[in-house]
């Protein structure tokens, strides 16, 4: 239980285009999901907290118009990188917390990540 599916796992896009990354909770409802970004050999950096039915909360320095987050249902959050540039190339990971904890990891479940390369 408490599985988060992230798709795609890898994407290459041209500069100026937009890319959508999906994060789905498969067997639980996630009112909140978290989006992280990880550059090579660095730690995870929180980008935003995605709340179902309301606007996402972005961390300081993260452009909300560039990284559009939509959490339209209790099982799906999407991150759209708009007008992508090479510096947006990174590893993006979503996370959700199963309600009431649960499982070995007390509810924090991570997607498998998306490797975005902008050329």
Partner 1 sequence: ELKVEQNPLFLSMQEGKNYTIYCNYSTTSDRLYWYRQDPGKSLESLFVLLSNGAVKQEGRLMASLDTKARLSTLHITAAVHDLSATYFCAVDGANSGNTPLVFGKGTRLSVIA
Annotate the chain with DSSP letters as a single string: ---EEEE-SEEEE-TT--EEEEEEESSS--SEEEEEEE-TTS-EEEEEEEETTS--EEPTT--TTTEEEEEEETTEEEEEE-S--GGG-EEEEEEEE-TT--TTTTTEEE---EEEEE-
Q: Would you count residue 93 as binding partner 1 (CB under 8 A)? A: yes
Q: Would you count residue 3 as binding partner 1 (CB under 8 A)? A: no
Q: Would you count residue 95 as binding partner 1 (CB under 8 A)? A: yes
Q: Considering the complex, what minimum distance in angstroms separates the CB of residue 32 from partner 1?
A: 4
What residues numbered 9-48 form the site for partner 1, per CB under 8 A? Answer: 31-32, 34, 41-44, 46
Which one among 5, 49, 89, 117 touches partner 1, defined by CB under 8 A?
Answer: 49
């Amino acid at each position: 239980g408490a599985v988060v599916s992230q798709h795609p796992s890898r994407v290459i896009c041209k500069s100026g285009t937009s890319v959508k990354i999906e994060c789905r909770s498969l067997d639980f409802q996630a009112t909140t999901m978290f989006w992280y970004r990880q550059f090579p050999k660095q730690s995870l950096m929180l980008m935003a907290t995605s709340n179902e039915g309301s606007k996402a909360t972005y961390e300081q320095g993260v452009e909300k118009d560039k990284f559009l987050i939509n959490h339209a249902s209790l099982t799906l959050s999407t991150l759209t990188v708009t007008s992508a540039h090479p510096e947006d190339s990174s590893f993006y990971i979503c996370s959700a917390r199963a309600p009431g904890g649960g499982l070995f990891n007390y509810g924090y479940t991570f997607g498998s990540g998306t490797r975005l390369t902008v050329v």
